[in-house]
Amino acid sequence: MHEGRFPSALGMNMVESVTGSREQKAMRALMRFGELLSGVAESQTVMRSLVAAAVEDAGAVAAVVVEISPDGATRIGAARNLPEQFAGFPPEDALEPSLGDDLLRACSSLDICRGARTIVAPLASGGGLYGSVIYVYGREVDDFDHSVAHALAGLSASGLNCAARYDELARNYAELRAQREVLVGNEKLRALGEMAAGVSHDLKNIINPLSLHLQFLRRAIPKTDEDCQQSVSEMQGILKRGLETIERLRDYSRQSGSERAEVCDLRQLARESIEIAKPRTRAKHDVHITLVASLDEAPPVKLTASEAIAAIVNLIVNAVDAMPNGGRIEVATGRTGEGEGFLRVSDDGPGMTEEVRAKVFDPFFTTKGREGTGLGLSTVYSFAQRHHGRIVLRSAPGEGAAFTMTFPAAAE
């Protein structure tokens, strides 16, 4: 009777042993989970570890993490021991609002979890809600540790908060680095503009007299000599564009839209640029370079003609220099799907590495050694920016290069 009323010493020891074993298991589980989160773990790793610990350490029959993405959508972030009817849910699938109820009914039909119950714990930390964890356990199963389950949810929420903050810091750092590169580039262009403004004055004084000499030459050549007259006319046209180019050097110090911009036809600008660049393609007799024009209709765009021609010629000359053994260069114009006008200069040369592509528009960057100044493509980039356009480079080793300038259509 005495032993029936009071547990024996052996029975007490067994209860204490079971209780101690359970507490030790819970402590080890929480310590192991805490070690995982001591660093910055990815959110997917945190969620997968949560459902694994829920089943292995807290005694849950099944566990599901309902993740809330930054855009507010819900989805299964991780799951463990899902019933068969939920096995087809990949983590990226969107959730129905009734998932919790459906999951409960499905688990209730399992032999291991008759009369299933669920606990839903929010994954909230630092003012952010990252989702919820659904623990499933059986009515007759008494080894589900509620306290461990809630502790795991709290630790997971902290881990998800750290991961979110880390991702935010990484994005902010990337933005700051990009802004720093822009500022460095602008500072280089500003210094270039100040230098160009001074040089342009001296160059103009030197080149201006050539115009007078060409006028004298034109009068001295008989009008019947059409070839010579045509050559002089072409030289006068080139000189005119050259003087306009020198004059606009001052625009680089302001880095703003040119006041001399006018409505232009990209096809006409391309034709004039090709004529100017043709002598460069024939600079070496043993090198054959084919210059092709594919000039489809493009909408009128507002540009400074001399700047546009200088930019196109620059791109053509760069393509020539990139193909010392010859090749094909195509100058194309057309209309984009958004109604903008584009001009593309492409070649079938050796192409560029990713490292070169990243720096190709930087002032003073060149791959030509002593022969290059590193200013050509930076001025082309600056020209596109000042005229509210953009320039895109597509290139890869062995696949040539294509520079595409795109400009908004001129207002009618």
Q: What is the CATH number of the domain that holds 151?
A: 3.30.450.40
pTM, 2 dp: 0.46
Which pLDDT value is given to residue 10? 37
Which residue in 401, 389, 396 sits closest to 269, CA to CA? 389
153 and 41 in a common domain: yes
CATH at 365: 3.30.565.10
Q: Residue 128 gets which letter from DSSP?
A: E
Please identify, among 164, 196, 219, the residue that sits at the C-terminal boundary of a domain. 164
Residue 304 lies inside a defined structural domain of this protein: yes
Which pLDDT value is given to residue 397? 92
Q: CA-CA distance, 315 to 403, in Å (whole number)?
A: 8
288 and 155 in a common domain: no
Cβ atoms of 397 and 334 closer than 8 Å: no
Which residue in 277, 271, 370 sits closest to 318, CA to CA? 277
Q: CA-CA distance, 105 to 93, in Å (whole number)?
A: 20
47 and 151 in a common domain: yes
Q: CA-CA distance, 362 to 380, in Å (whole number)?
A: 11
158 and 25 in a common domain: yes
| pLDDT tens over the chain, length 412 residues | 333 333 434 333 433 443 446 677 777 777 777 777 776 678 888 888 888 888 888 888 888 888 887 777 777 788 887 766 555 554 444 444 455 555 555 555 554 455 567 778 888 887 788 888 878 776 554 667 888 888 888 888 888 888 888 888 888 888 888 778 777 766 766 666 667 666 765 676 677 778 778 888 888 888 888 888 888 888 888 887 777 777 666 555 555 445 578 899 999 999 999 988 888 777 666 778 889 999 999 999 999 888 899 899 989 988 998 888 889 999 999 999 889 999 999 999 999 998 888 888 887 777 776 666 667 788 889 889 888 999 999 999 999 999 999 999 987 6
Look-up: residue for tokens 């006068």? 236
16 and 159 in a common domain: yes
Cβ neighbors of 22 (< 8 A, separation 6 or more) are 143, 145
Q: Is 70 exposed, middle or buried (0-12, 13-18, 19+ CB in 10 A)?
A: exposed
Cβ atoms of 261 and 303 closer than 8 Å: yes
Which pLDDT value is given to residue 35? 73
Q: CA-CA distance, 2 to 72, in Å (whole number)?
A: 63
Token representation of residue 209: 């007299």
CA 266 to chain centre: 29
DSSP 180-227: HHHHHHHHHHHHHHHHHHHHHHHHHHHHHHHHHHHHHHHHHS-TT-HH
Cβ neighbors of 75 (< 8 A, separation 6 or more) are 66, 67, 69, 91, 92, 93, 94, 95
Residue 387 lies inside a defined structural domain of this protein: yes
The three-state secondary structure class of 76 is strand
285 and 155 in a common domain: no
Residue 290 lies inside a defined structural domain of this protein: yes
Where are any strands of DSSP class E within 304-388?
Answer: 327-335, 341-347
262 and 402 in a common domain: yes
Which pLDDT value is given to residue 139? 55
Please identify, among 143, 164, 185, the residue that sits at the C-terminal boundary of a domain. 164
For the chain, the domain total comes to 2
Residue 158 lies inside a defined structural domain of this protein: yes
Residue 86 lies inside a defined structural domain of this protein: yes
Q: CA-CA distance, 74 to 79, in Å (whole number)?
A: 14
Residue 4 lies inside a defined structural domain of this protein: no
Residue 392 lies inside a defined structural domain of this protein: yes
For 18, the domain range is 11-164
CB atoms within 10 A of CB 210: 14
Cβ neighbors of 62 (< 8 A, separation 6 or more) are 55, 79, 80, 81, 82, 83, 103, 107, 113, 136
46 and 156 in a common domain: yes
Look-up: residue for tokens 């210094």? 191
Please identify, among 109, 134, 164, the residue that sits at the C-terminal boundary of a domain. 164
Cβ neighbors of 235 (< 8 A, separation 6 or more) are 214
Q: CA-CA distance, 30 to 21, in Å (whole number)?
A: 14
Residue 251 lies inside a defined structural domain of this protein: no
- Output b/e per residue, 152-188; b: 16+ Cβ within 10 A: bbbbbbbbbbbbbeeeeeeeeeeeeeeeeeeeebeeb
